[in-house]
Structures are given as structure tokens and as C-alpha cells.
Amino acid sequence: MHPITREGVLMVSHCAFPGAPEHAPFASPRLYGTAVAPEFAYRLRPADPAPPLPDDDDDDGVLHGLPAELEELDAPELHAGSDERGAFTELRLPRGFGPGSVLVVRVGVSARRRPEPVCE
């Protein structure tokens, strides 16, 4: 978040380690006192079947990566709520937000919620 404009981005990702569960193992993020606007959500799916690994003799010194497809996901659902800590926006992750997924939202704090500067 930019210290003067109080605007920025938040990224949520679901890493694709071997054995990672299909569904994100964390609660929906709650952003208190923050305006939220979705930017994008995608999932990287490896091509099936994976290509064979090259022999050491075939190594050309270039990292080629793995064949994959980029799947566009729906934007996260935004739900307004409040509790003992105040008003919040909750991000509900889109369906299909499995391993290899990432989403980005724009965030901002309103002028009335900004803390007073500690020093000038």
C-alpha cells in the first residue's frame, strides 16, 4: 500500500506443491476499513501429459519451463460485513482456485480511516 495515497494491491495465491489440496486451506481474507476492487484471477494448469525430462546430454543451458495452460477464473465474490472489529470486505475465493492459482485485487483506505501522521 502506498503510504500517501493509501492505495495498493493485494495478491492471494495457492502454491502448487506436490500433494497440495485442491481447495485452498485457508479462510476467506477479511479486509477491515478497506475498499476492494477485483483485478484478475487465473490458474496455471500443467499440460497433460507432462513431457519427458531431457537427458543431461541434451541440455542446451536454457530453462524451457513446463507446458501449461492459463485458465481465467471468476473474480472473487466481495461480501460486506461487520463484527466487533468494525466494517470489513470479505473475499470469497472463486471456484477452481486450486494449486497454481493467483488473484489480485486493488485496495484503498478512505481518507476518514487514515491514521494521523506520526511526524511531518
Residue 30 lies in a domain: yes
Number of domains the chain contains = 1
Residue 119 pLDDT exceeds 60? no
Residue 52 lies in a domain: no
Residue 58 lies in a domain: no
> Does the model's pTM come out above 0.85?
no
Residue 24 buriedness (CB in 10 A; 0-12 / 13-18 / 19+):
middle
Residue 53 lies in a domain: no
Contact (CB, 8 A) for 24 and 94: no
Using one digit for the tens of pLDDT, what is the confidence trace for 32-56? 988 999 999 999 988 776 566 666 6
Q: Is the peptide bond before 49 cis (omega within 30 degrees of 0)?
A: yes
Contact (CB, 8 A) for 16 and 44: yes
Contact (CB, 8 A) for 102 and 72: no
DSSP for residue 65:
-
- The domain in which residue 72 lies consists of 7-47+68-111
Residue 105 lies in a domain: yes
Residue 117 lies in a domain: no
